Amino acid sequence: MDMVRLAVVGATGMVGRAFLRVLAERDLPMKQLYLFASSRSAGQRIDFQGQEYTIEELREDSFDRGVDIALFSAGGETSMQYAPIAAAKGCVVVDNSSAWRMHADVPLVVPEVNPEDILKHNGIIANPNCSTIQAVVALWPLHRRYRIKRIIYATYQAVAGAGMGGWRDLEEGLQGKPPKKFPHPIAGNCLPQIDVFLDNGYTKEEEKMIQETQKIMHAPDMKVTATCVRVPVFIGHSEAINVEFEEPYDMRDVIDILENAPGVRLRNDHANAVYPMPVEAADTDEVYVGRLRRDSTVESGLHLWVVADNVRKGAATNAVQIAQLLCKK
């Protein structure tokens, strides 16, 4: 593809706005830009690179005019309904919702890990869950060298991951107002529930991390478990990750691998209190890794602390990177 006609679906949302910021920075070869949201926002104007665009209501005929790539972040129901309509019109959808991620014929892509999977798309490519993206960017180069046997995730996830509503709950909660988006106050609190509960006692967010890690790394038998927690941080997910490798590892080699891993920044200087933090990761595209230490309770165990901007690398940046790969194809 040379010059593309691009659409953003959910352009008024937390991730939709980040799509526009990242697109402006990355100079995708674009000849047309269409912005869609719900009827509530139709007619609203948004500035992009000095030009004003009008938000249109998303409708069944929205893709009739010829759209090459559409970045979707308007919730699962919207993606479920409209992504196939867009794909049937010849558009390639990069979908940020969880609606299509586990479908067998939908690639789930993190460009630093499995860019080759993009080629297998049938009109829809799924952008993984924010917590999964940052984890696999850090773990993939280690898996290639030492083969991961088991992963235990514990996440500390920012409210931006719950969209504008999550952001407002923390902002207003800090002023003593009751929550609207979350089931409990988030200010001064931690919520060990992200998304709905499943019959097995896990939440859907935890299940997403487990299944998506296995799919992206093409490792269906890898043992993965997770506990996902919402914390009162505006932007930037943190993750305590415990990994057990098949093979013995050398800590200097692990450091060397992570220092050279695409998309990774090592922040691992204990003596100087240098470690990854959400305030440092916010507004950047990198995945920060630190607090590296051997877990000697198992044969070949490693602890990592992994932080990234969940709205950028966890959503918008990853989707735009996929769009850039599509353009190069």
Where are the strands (E) in the chain, listed by range?
Answer: 4-9, 30-37, 45-48, 51-54, 56-57, 69-72, 92-95, 124-126, 148-157, 223-230, 237-245, 264-266, 287-295, 301-308
Binders of ligand A2P among 261-300, rule CB under 6 A? none
CA atoms of 72 and 8, how far apart (whole Å): 6
- For tokens 């769009």, what's the residue? 323
Stretch that binds ligand A2P, among 10-18, 93-101, 222-230, 265-273 (CB under 6 A): 10-18
**Minimum distance from CB of 272 to ligand A2P (Å)?**
37
Structure tokens at 77: 């129901």
Check binding of 41 to ligand A2P (CB under 6 A). Answer: yes
Check binding of 314 to ligand A2P (CB under 6 A). Answer: no
Structure tokens at 183: 């089931």
| One character per residue 116-155, x = contact with ligand A2P (rule: CB under 6 A) | ----------------------------------------
Check binding of 38 to ligand A2P (CB under 6 A). Answer: yes
On whether the CB atoms of residues 45 and 55 are closer than 8 A, the answer is yes
Size of residue set near ligand A2P by CB under 6 A: 17
Question: Could you list the active site residues?
Answer: 130, 237
Tell me which of 18, 37, 83, 258 binds ligand A2P, using CB under 6 A: 37
Name beta bridge partners: 281. none
| One character per residue 165-204, x = contact with ligand A2P (rule: CB under 6 A) | x---------------------------------------
Q: What angle do CA 292, 296, 301 make, to 5 degrees?
A: 55
User: Which is closer to ligand A2P, CB of 142 or CB of 159?
Assistant: 159
- How many Å separate Cα 118 from the centre of its chain? 16
Check binding of 115 to ligand A2P (CB under 6 A). Answer: no
Check binding of 48 to ligand A2P (CB under 6 A). Answer: no
Give 325: exposed, middle or buried? Use CB within 10 Å, 0-12, 13-18, 19+: middle
Phi, psi of 96 (to 5 degrees): -85, -5
Binders of ligand A2P among 71-90, rule CB under 6 A? 74-75, 78
User: Which is closer to ligand A2P, CB of 164 or CB of 219?
Assistant: 164
Check binding of 310 to ligand A2P (CB under 6 A). Answer: no
On whether the CB atoms of residues 69 and 44 are closer than 8 A, the answer is no
The residues binding ligand A2P (CB under 6 A) are 10-14, 16, 37-38, 40-41, 58, 74-75, 78, 163-165
